[in-house]
Amino acid sequence: QKEVEQNSGPLSVPEGAIASLNCTYSDRVSQSFFWYRQYSGKSPELIMSIYSNGDKEDGRFTAQLNKASQYVSLLIRDSQPSDSATYLCAVNGNYGQNFVFGPGTRLSVLP
Amino acid sequence: EAGVAQSPRYKIIEKRQSVAFWCNPISGHATLYWYQQILGQGPKLLIQFQNNGVVDDSQLPKDRFSAERLKGVDSTLKIQPAKLEDSAVYLCASSSLAGGATGELFFGEGSRLTVL
């Protein structure tokens, strides 16, 4: 069974700082990698996806993927209190099969 | 566009009773997922359907959980008999065929189960 691990939280950063979230995965054949955000009492929502090695930027968010190290990360620049949530790393095999989530890292951005 | 609909939102039952959850995915979405999310943990995949066929049910406790997706549209997840450790939020998600590969899952609001 594929495993996805994330850095244990909670992670607290001051407003305006960079938040760094990390994820490792066990299945080398994993194809696609995702970051979901989940506010307390709400359902997860997709914020970033990345498929090839390197960096992908979308606004204040940057996802980084290193398939050789089986590692994916999410950087949030200029963190805002509204970014306070649990961030879930998810990994996917071919054709949408075996879509597995990590345990999540809770982020608190302090005003 | 209507989102993923789930019901009931909340359910409280005694252990050994049965419960059923219903999910109606976004219209046209071929893939439907049921996840169990225990408080403080990430979602755990229970079963994945593509149209009305099962793609993955390797983590479904088949002695007590069952799921079906008749006609490839809405789906029902049943637990019988329930145990205390089944207390969780049951999330239904759907995706298009392409979206399943790209990770774009759309989640319903979830059904929160409390087993006493």
Kindly tell me the sign of the dihedral angle through the C-alpha atoms of A107, A71, B110, B18. negative
What mean pLDDT is reported for chain B? 92
Which of A 35-94 lie inside 8 A of B, CB atoms?
42-46, 49, 88, 90, 92, 94
Nearest Cα residue in chain A from B103: A34
Measured CA distances, A12 to A3, A40, A90, B74, B100 (Å):
25, 16, 22, 40, 32
- Place B35 in a pLDDT band, splitting at 50, 70 and 90: very high
B1 pLDDT exceeds 70? no
Closest CA to B31 of B106, B96, B102: B96
Residues of chain A with pLDDT under 70: 1-2, 93-98
Average of per-residue pLDDT across B98-102: 58
How far away is chain A from the Cα of B100, in angstroms, using its nearest Cα? 4
Chain A residues in contact with B110 by the CB 8 A cut-off are 43
Report which DSSP code applies to A46: E
pLDDT 10s digits, B43-95: 999 999 988 899 889 899 999 999 999 888 999 999 999 999 999 999 999 98
How far away is chain B from the Cα of A34, in angstroms, using its nearest Cα? 7
How far away is chain A from the Cα of B12, in angstroms, using its nearest Cα? 17
* Percent of chain B scoring above 70 in pLDDT: 93
pLDDT recorded at residue B69: 95
* Residue of A33, A43, A86, A92 to mutate, interface with B, max B Cβ within 10 Å: A43
What mean pLDDT is reported for chain A? 91
